[in-house]
Structure 1
């Protein structure tokens, strides 16, 4: 079984610590890319590369795990943040979850989609919410990659911690 946190720094972070990077285009090619983007064939090629990358990732996840738990992100609402919308679109979370849905059905695997509320703010070790984050702005919170639990003092990678909490939340629904 695996819990999966979806992110912008890493596309997926599993509860066992594996991180899959988002496919990015080299910044040195951005000027040339803007010219090429006018041509449909290049757009199609980039979309195919992204789709192929997602197919490989989702196939590997479905073959490696019998139960996959992923967070139900409100992508439509998140896209309203103009600072993050390009990164969110590039991550293709909706496509990733769609592929997981039908591949889990094909392979007879279990896909559980859970509410992501507080999954990265609760320590997976002691289950206590870190209230120190309540006063942070969204950008400050997103910049926090690691933290120490004020209750049990565990040192946590924010995304791996979230993936472990996502897995636990999903497995609770099976019980």
Structure 2
């Protein structure tokens, strides 16, 4: 069965290519903001919004009015309109907030280019350490992994630290992993990142806390340089010392994020490889982050991203998914377990003593097995 898989590589554009990338960022942002304003005006006047089709047809007229839009990849402009239409669709379904205008001051900028159907000459191709992209032509990149299947689109991104990356979405056949006959429940926590029902414990390495002091020190330097620039009446975009320090702070954030993502990938892949049925504890992470005492710790462990990785990897490799206040022995619900401070408890009904995390893992394993027995395949219990 064909699946979608993304490949991310770092690219090293020349100065000329960097200028063209910056222009494409700006043009894509301009088109998005232009139609967002027009969408709002139409809604206020008529009570109805626009559509992707109506906006897309106006892009050629917009190019006649603004010649500089012709310099960049046309697919990126069409994709900006598509993103706006998708954002409004999710907004009306109450899946996210209302679309907002994009800012050129955002340190992270990106644009997406699609591949035309029925195109005989591929617009994106790879030869050695060179990647061919629309308008940019051949760009040097870190070819660390072979891209399999048909490339559908590419997203070019500039990070806050000034690095450039490309994400290639490919359509390919992904072979299912061999069955192990094992099922497991997974309970996440703050003391330990994840505890499996078979007793396996994954430690919480707290990547943010290890670099928190260094980050705070560099952020204080950044604040001082910002103050110096403002006192000298120099624009922050032109203050070299400020920009240099800003990139230094961004590199620390990037290092923390990379370490955390690498850890999440390794743990999620290991769990999916070793087990056929996986039960996941349902958590309302956004609501839990409202707790001021725990919000930093909860944000640091990235439970939602971990659940997302488990979900799509299980779908790739043909695995199956599947609460935690029940006694794993008799099924009695102990209301006090909902308090995170209670780490161990004894069931008042059957008298069995439980470790909070191990008991939750056993419950999730039973739920996963029940769903498998009922031949219900899905993602029940995912946050």
**What's the TM-score bracket when you normalise by the shorter of the two chains?**
0.7 to 0.9
Aligned counterpart, 1:72: 282
- Check the 8 A contact 1:36/1:42 in 2, yes or no: no
Q: How does 1:17-28 map to 2 (within 5 A)?
A: 17-25=199-207
| Residues 100 and 26 of structure 1, relative CA distance in 2, 3 Å threshold | closer
SS for the counterpart of 1:102 is helix
In the TM superposition, what is the alpha-carbon distance from 1:130 to its structure 2 partner?
2.5
User: 5+ unaligned residues in a row in structure 2: which ranges?
Assistant: 1-182, 220-245, 375-383
Aligned counterpart, 1:173: 371
Distance 2:301 2:211 in 1: 19
Indicate the structure whose relative CO is greater, using CA pairs within 8 Å and at least 6 residues apart. Answer: 1
| Residues 154 and 72 of structure 1, relative CA distance in 2, 3 Å threshold | same
- Check the 8 A contact 1:9/1:22 in 2, yes or no: yes
Q: How does 1:30-49 map to 2 (within 5 A)?
A: 30-36=212-218, 39-49=249-259
In the TM superposition, what is the alpha-carbon distance from 1:19 to its structure 2 partner?
1.5
User: Aligned to 2:304, which of 79, 91, 94?
Assistant: 94
- When normalised by structure 2's length, the TM-score is 0.40
Distance 1:84 1:105 in 2: 32
Deviations 1:30-88 (A, max 9, x none): 43231246611111011000000000100100111011110221111111111111111
How many residues are matched?
Answer: 163
Give 1 or 2 for the bigger CA radius of gyration.
2
Aligned counterpart, 2:197: 15
Aligned counterpart, 2:263: 53
Q: Does 1:124 align with 2:328?
A: yes
| Residues 87 and 127 of structure 1, relative CA distance in 2, 3 Å threshold | same
Deviations 1:128-155 (A, max 9, x none): 1235x28xxx7xx322211111222111
Q: Higher helix fraction: Structure 1 or Structure 2?
A: 1
Q: Does 1:110 align with 2:320?
A: yes
User: 5+ unaligned residues in a row in structure 1: which ranges?
Assistant: none
Distance 1:122 1:100 in 2: 24
Deviations 1:115-135 (A, max 9, x none): x4xx1x32101111235x28x
SS for the counterpart of 2:340 is helix
Distance 1:109 1:27 in 2: 34
Distance 2:209 2:190 in 1: 17
- Check the 8 A contact 2:277/2:321 in 1, yes or no: yes
Q: Does 1:143 align with 2:341?
A: yes
- When normalised by structure 1's length, the TM-score is 0.84
Residues 78-87 or 33-42, more deviating: 33-42
- Check the 8 A contact 2:206/2:301 in 1, yes or no: no
Q: RMSD over aligned Cα, in angstroms? A: 2.1
